[in-house]
Amino acid sequence: MNPTTVLLRRGRVIDPRHGVDGVRDVLVRDGVVAEVSEAPIQAPPDAQVVDAQGRWVLPGFIDLHVHLREPGEEGKETVLTGSRAAVAGGFTAVVAMPNTKPVNDSVLITEYVKAKAREAGLCRVYLAGAITKGLQGEEMAEMGALVAAGCVCITDDGRPVMNAGLMRRALQYATQFDLPVMVHEEDLTLSGKGVMHEGATSTRLGLIGIPPSAEVAMVARDLVLLEETRGRLHVAHVSCEGSVRLIREAKRRGLRVTAEATPHHFTLEDEAVGDYDTHARMNPPLRSRQDVLAVREALADGTIDAIATDHAPHGVLEKQVEFDKAWNGVVGLETALGLTLAAVREGALSLTRAVALLSDGPARAFGLPGGHLAVGAPADITVVEPDVEWTVDATRFFSRSRNTPFHGRRLTGRVAQTWVGGRLVFENGQTKESRS
């Protein structure tokens, strides 16, 4: 049982939205933050007291881009197992992509996933609806109904909307709901049959390359459409320098564009494919060193708003095959924090900025509650042990899938506790399901 009153004592509170970084006591009552104080708070008699000394107390992480695979591919992941992986990774909220089977292009699927999420009772699960029916890129899905059912954005993620006219109207139509349109930017005529970044490594391995222009050309197109429609565009998994440059410039001109980058794209280069390691196969592909550096710079300077994992579970059957037959994607929820902190230690961005990218940035991009720790905010809190070193062991993931290129990697910084709405949902390597 969780008491309704919790006092997190003497942790280092980092709340980028309010410029807080220092030792504070945080009092949580009835699921919201009741007090944040530099001076010690007298523990109320009914409070559970948590000693957070030497730990970081952060706004709960929000992942704008996860694939929970339910309905349809429950063997890879379910809303429950995905929620477990999320809270184990410090995520208090995730946005589930609509490319399930069937596709979330209707209220029925939205309601179904929401019910599964309530049943799991771990993190908050927000839904993304499809832009087009069945992700076919032909007819717009019922956006109004999806919004009414609770979808927080629309996207055909996994696929681009190749039809520019349709994309323009989707952006236009979404303005009446002030809804972000999330885009997987890939010109299919440029990516073709490509399976990895086009560069020296693809040449050496004899694999068909995907040039950066496949992404950049679509970012350019959609920014042009955004400017005309004055809608909201969210660019998913930005992978290369050209996209970063265009997004930076569009933001400077005041367009309502937000963007996300994944830990694998700011950590690994195309060389990680090694000798045909299918765990390094994803879309967009791992890019060149120059692209990685550009993405890191964009994380630091605010061009990119959010770190999103693009958590994409796959089974052994999808990965233990020839490279050109393997499916795209990596699981990411349980390694995101460690990889982000590695980038911080390497000097790519500040700790405050990193926390902002995991919490405040994504909350603002989609207008979600949380992402900060002011009084009255939902008590979604991630407590981190910053100095604990650990080794990624995919066999011990909470996720039902193990497809990660980071198995065996040493990381520093681990999630100690995850609180959602004032309820402890993860502690010391254990998830706390409400039923148990």
Partner 1 sequence: MRHLLGIEGLRRSEIEALLDRAEAHLHGSPDASHVLRGKVVANLFFEDSTRTRTSFEMAAHALGAEVLNWTMAGSSVSKGETLLDTARNIEATGPVALIIRHRSSGAPHLVARHVRCAVVNAGDGTHEHPSQALLDAFTLRRRWGRFDGRTVLIIGDILHSRVARSNLHCLTALGAKVVLCGPPTLLPPGLESLGARVTSRLDDVLPEADAVMCLRVQSERQSESFFPSAREFSRLFGLNAARAERLKPEALVMHPGPMNRGVEIAPAVADGPHSVILEQVAHGVAVRRAVLEVVCR
Choose the contact partner of 190 out of Zn ion, partner 1, none; CB within 5 to 8 A by kind: none
Q: Which does 108 bind (CB under 5 to 8 A by kind): Zn ion, partner 1, none?
A: none
Cβ closest to partner 1, residue 270 vs residue 380: 270
Q: How many residues does the chain have?
A: 436
Instruction: State yes or no: 291 annotated in a binding site.
Output: no
Strand pairing of 91-96 and 151-155? unpaired
Taking CB within 5 to 8 Å according to partner kind, which of Zn ion, partner 1, none is near residue 310?
Zn ion
Tell me whether residue 237 is annotated as binding: yes
Which of 310, 318, 334, 360 touches Zn ion (CB under 5 A)?
310
Q: Which is nearer to Zn ion, 73 or 310 (CB)?
A: 310
Nearer to partner 1 among residue 187 and residue 222 (C-beta): 187
Residue 178 assigned to a binding site: no
Say whether 99 counts as a known binding-site residue: yes
Q: Nearest approach, Cβ of 153 to Zn ion (angstroms)?
A: 12
**Residue 22 touches which of Zn ion, partner 1, none (Cβ within 5-8 Å per kind):** none
380 labelled as ligand-binding? no
Does 184 show up as a binding residue in the annotation? yes
Interacting partner of 199 out of partner 1, Zn ion, none (Cβ under 5 to 8 A depending on kind)? partner 1
Alpha carbons 118 and 211: distance in angstroms, whole number: 42
| Residue 393 a catalytic site member | no
Strand extents, DSSP E, 180-338: 180-183, 196-197, 209-210, 232-235, 257-261, 306-307
Binding part of the chain for Zn ion, among 132-140, 151-159, 190-198, 411-419 by CB under 5 A, reads: 151-159
198 binds, among Zn ion, partner 1, none (CB under 5 to 8 A by kind): partner 1
Task: Choose the catalytic residue: 15, 310, 360, 380.
Answer: 310
Report how far residue 65's alpha carbon sits from residue 236's, in angstroms, rounded to the nearest whole number: 8
Which stretch, 153-161, 249-257, 318-326, 380-388, contacts Zn ion (CB under 5 A)? 153-161
* Least distance between partner 1 and beta carbon 319 (Å): 11
Q: Which helix (H) or strand (E) holds 129?
A: strand 124-129
2-10, 155-163, 223-231, 356-364 -> range binding Zn ion (CB under 5 A): 155-163
Cβ neighbours around 149 below 10 Å, total: 18
Judged by CB under 5 A, the residue of 15, 157, 198, 334 near Zn ion is: 157
DSSP 193: T
**Least Cβ distance, residue 279 to partner 1 (angstroms):** 13
Outline where 230-370 has alpha helix (H).
241-252, 263-267, 289-301, 316-319, 336-345, 351-358, 360-366
396 binds, among Zn ion, partner 1, none (CB under 5 to 8 A by kind): none
Q: Could you tell me if 93 and 123 are in contact, meaning their C-beta atoms sit under 8 angstroms apart?
A: yes
Minimum CB separation of residue 26 from Zn ion in Å reads: 33
Contacting residues for 194 by C-beta, under 8 A, at least 6 apart: 202, 208, 209, 210, 211, 214, 285
Q: Which amino acid is at 395?
A: T
**Where do we find the tokens 């605010």?**
302
CB of 282 to partner 1, least distance (A): 16
Q: Please check if 163 is assigned to a binding site.
A: no
Residue 398 near residue 84, CB atoms below 8 Å: yes
Would you say 144 or 274 has its CB closer to partner 1? 274
Helix, strand, or coil here: 414?
Answer: strand
Max CA distance (Å), the chain: 68
Alpha helices by DSSP H, listed for 58-142, are: 79-88, 107-120
What secondary structure letter does DSSP report for 178?
Answer: T
Residue pair 265/310 in contact by the 8 Å Cβ criterion: no
Q: How far is the CB of 325 from partner 1 (least distance, A)?
A: 6
DSSP 3-state of 152? strand
Cβ(277)–Cβ(405) below 8 Å: yes
Q: Is 65 annotated as a binding residue?
A: yes
Tell me whether strands 91-96 and 61-66 are parallel, antiparallel or unpaired: parallel
Burial 50-86 (b: 16+ CB within 10 A, else e): bebeebbbbbbbbbbbbbbbbbebeebbbbbbbbbbb
Considering beta carbons, is residue 92 or 191 the nearer one to partner 1?
A: 191
Please report how close the Cβ of residue 317 comes to partner 1 at its closest, in angstroms. 7
Contacts with partner 1 by CB under 8 A lie at: 198-209, 275-276, 317, 320-325
Instruction: Cite the active site residues.
Output: 310
Query: Interface residues with Zn ion (CB under 5 A)?
Result: 157, 310
Annotated binding site: 65, 67-69, 99, 157, 184, 237, 283, 310, 314
Annotated binding site for Zn(2+): 65, 67, 157, 184, 237, 310
Annotated binding site for substrate: 67-69, 99, 283, 314
